[in-house]
Structure 1
Amino acid sequence: MGETSSNKTFNVGVIGYGMSASTFHIPFITSTPSLKLYSILQRKPSDSSSAPRDYPHLKHHTSLESFLADPELDVVVVTTPPETHFAFAQQALQAGKHVFVEKPFVPSSAQADELIKLADEKKRSICVYQNRRWDSDFLTVRKLVTDGLLGRIVEFETHFDRYRAEKPTNWKGSLKMDQGGSALYDLGTHLVDQVYTLFGMPQGVFAKLVSQRDGLCLGPENPDLEPDSVNLQLFYADALIVHVRIGVMSVETKQPRFWIRGTKGSYHKTGLDPQEPQIKSGMKINDAEFGKEGPEWNGSLTTVGQDGKITEESCPNVKPETYSKIYELFAHALQGRCDVPVPASQAKDVLRILEAARESAKTKREVELS
């Protein structure tokens, strides 16, 4: 990374002005003391969506060339659909900017490698927005696992299930896997990244990628299927088996989230982290209730004592760090105070797991990972 200062404030420019920018990035950029929201690139402002109208005091651009040519711009945040990530990140790095990229990072691990090498050459940082590392339920799981309260983990089940009978009309319903689309790259990136954060690279992957809406499976008979649902098994050296499940035909009032079994206990949780719906409902990210769930969403912790007695108790989430934390750590990394919170090398590993899942689904066999 180039010259840094522990006191420097970095000018941040955002590419794109859709839901990702307005919900997941701009509120956190503007609340991070050493970051300054400086410019926005929106190619076609409209009556319904206009960055110049909403932020008249910023610099605004409709072309990438003028946006990147600004010598005062330090950091580029890429919030556009995933098929654009590689080209935007590459050009930003070539222009000497640090880069923060929405997930999925890029559509392939080969492209990730290219960007990692370019960032090294340019002495610039890349961070990937794997914000769900800062979901409160995941932080709770991480504490339970690292503290050893559940013992050695033997089975780990993670879900992102919903009832979505209709296909999305945005890029999530149109992009192919080769472009970073489908449920595997959209939601699967989140779940696999969380598993990777806990356990590292698996030894093997077995996958079924399906369209629950159409009743079809990816495989030799349907080689071009774009899955809306995912069932992965990840295998680890100590006999740990991880199940990663995504579905769009789950009719539940409380959707499953985690089910973890260890040699000393189990943990069960329903419901998704509330930060996204809270922001969409208008809650401010500095609100005291931001990131908190009601007690009705507490997990269930079951442990076995030294006397062999099994006890079940309510397990509330740990205190929320919220998605503010990834921006705080990224800013600290730019100042040279810590490492990038989600380096591109880790995002590349997650892409390798997703690519193994695609191969497994097509060949109907387990794929080994070195």
Structure 2
Amino acid sequence: MINTAVIGYGYAGRAFHSYLVSLAEGLNLYAIATRNEERREAAREAYPNAKSYVTIDEVIADDAIRLVVLATPHDTHAELAIKAMDAGKHVVTDKIMAMNTAEADAMIDASKRNDVLLSVFHNRRWDWDYLTVKKVIADGLLGTPYLFQVAIMRYGAPGGWRGVKSQSGGILYDWPAHFVDQAIQFGNSPVESVFCDIFYSDKWDTDIGNYGNLYINFQNDIRYQIEIGNLSKADKPRWYVVGDEGGLIKYGLDPQEGPMRDGDIDAAEEDPENYAKVWTEAGGENRELVIESVRGSWKSYYQNIADVLNNDAELVVKPEEIRKVMQVYDAAMESAETGKTVKIN
């Protein structure tokens, strides 16, 4: 049994990490740390058997703790992860891994020199929509894909530290961290170039930006467009994917978050109106299909962490993979600043 401490008990620490750690066979939610007294009390009420700490220093001084989970602002990930790993702790950090590739490299170096696990919480590799698109492609219904367009367009001001660029990194550093990871998985080829444009408005009291448009071109000629917005009254498809023999459109987000927040992630169900629609001529016949979503489970992320630490299983979300995500971010920030397409060697 791996004693695990969660650092941070805001929304991510509460609704995602503490809950999912508590469900993983082989992990023990041993401690929760937060500097906020109200949140410490909430954590004690939710998990009365877990120890309560204020700082990460208290956590890493506890020899019983083997795994540290960071549910903290993005700009703290590298510093806190390295501190924990240098103390001999395994580390999971919430996405985004770090603020740039240099920080990611320092984290990977700390993992190697201390011989400890490092992983990034990319639970959305188990999103129903992502797994459904993956299956449609594997089944050959689209032929060879050449264009992916993914988007989440919302209307509302970002709250807390996520609305502060120095802490969050900006509008591209939240949801799109998952999008870029999924792009790397689907691209299955080195990234060739990146172009990024960020729109800023004074509508909200925030400096992170209001619309981000990111283009990733892969060496195998796949084009991948990511859009994110907090100033859009109009919705867009979550997925638009086309290949040389078919196309797919899918609306709606993965349905697991609401039931998870209510304490029963397994109760998740999807509105059939949001099932993927596919148009294909694969097999020589024109067809229009409605594809029921492939059910994944976010529980799988921490179960994999438990299996790695207890049974030497293969790590699913490897830090070297997420380093590629950070390379895209470095190029995107350079492109947004210069207005030019940035090549990646």
Please state which band the TM-score falls in when normalised by the shorter chain: over 0.9
Contact in 1 for aligned 2:242/2:248 (Cα 8 Å): yes
Partner of 2:320: 345
Equivalent of 1:236 in 196, 211, 218: 218
Contact in 2 for aligned 1:99/1:127 (Cα 8 Å): yes
Q: Are 1:163 and 2:155 an aligned pair?
A: yes
Partner of 1:4: none
1:48 Cα offset (Å): 8.8
Q: Are 1:194 and 2:176 an aligned pair?
A: no
**Equivalent-residue separation in structure 1 for 2:263 and 2:46 (angstroms):** 18
**Equivalent-residue separation in structure 1 for 2:153 and 2:308 (angstroms):** 34
Partner of 1:218: none
What amino acid maps onto 1:316 in structure 2?
E
Q: Deviations over 1:314-339 (max 9, x none)?
A: 11111x22100111111111124322
The number of residue pairs the alignment matches comes to 343
Contact in 2 for aligned 1:204/1:235 (Cα 8 Å): yes
**Equivalent-residue separation in structure 2 for 1:42 and 1:128 (angstroms):** 20
**1:1-370 to 2 correspondences below 5 Å:** 9-46=1-38, 50-164=42-156, 167-176=157-166, 179-200=167-188, 201-211=190-200, 226-252=208-234, 255-280=236-261, 282-285=262-265, 287=266, 289-290=267-268, 292-307=269-284, 309-318=285-294, 320-370=295-345
Q: Deviations over 1:209-244 (max 9, x none)?
A: 1125559xxxxxxxxx63232111111223221111
Q: Percent identity?
A: 31
**Equivalent-residue separation in structure 2 for 1:49 and 1:123 (angstroms):** 35
Q: Which runs of 5+ in 1 are unaligned?
A: 1-8, 216-224
Q: Deviations over 1:3-39 (max 9, x none)?
A: xxxxxx1010111111111111112111111001101
- Normalised TM-score (structure 2): 0.93
Tell me: CA distance 1:147–1:262, structure 2 relative to 1, closer, same or farther (3 Å): same
**Equivalent-residue separation in structure 1 for 2:341 and 2:263 (angstroms):** 44
1:144 Cα offset (Å): 1.8
What amino acid maps onto 1:231 in structure 2?
N
Q: Considering fraction of residues, name the structure with more helix.
A: 2
Runs of 4+ in 1 over 6 A off after TM superposition: none
RMSD, matched Cα: 2.0
Contact in 1 for aligned 2:8/2:32 (Cα 8 Å): yes
**Equivalent-residue separation in structure 2 for 1:360 and 1:316 (angstroms):** 38
Tell me: CA distance 1:212–1:325, structure 2 relative to 1, closer, same or farther (3 Å): farther
* 1:151 partner SS: coil
Tell me: CA distance 1:263–1:324, structure 2 relative to 1, closer, same or farther (3 Å): same
Contact in 1 for aligned 2:141/2:282 (Cα 8 Å): no
1:168 Cα offset (Å): 2.2
**Equivalent-residue separation in structure 2 for 1:255 and 1:303 (angstroms):** 22
What amino acid maps onto 2:224 in structure 1?
V
**Equivalent-residue separation in structure 1 for 2:275 and 2:135 (angstroms):** 15
- Normalised TM-score (structure 1): 0.87
**Equivalent-residue separation in structure 2 for 1:86 and 1:162 (angstroms):** 29
**Equivalent-residue separation in structure 1 for 2:36 and 2:203 (angstroms):** 35
**Equivalent-residue separation in structure 2 for 1:33 and 1:329 (angstroms):** 10
Q: Deviations over 1:289-326 (max 9, x none)?
A: 32x3121111101101444x4221211111x2210011
1:365 Cα offset (Å): 1.3
Tell me: CA distance 1:28–1:314, structure 2 relative to 1, closer, same or farther (3 Å): same
* 1:142 partner SS: helix
Contact in 1 for aligned 2:15/2:260 (Cα 8 Å): yes
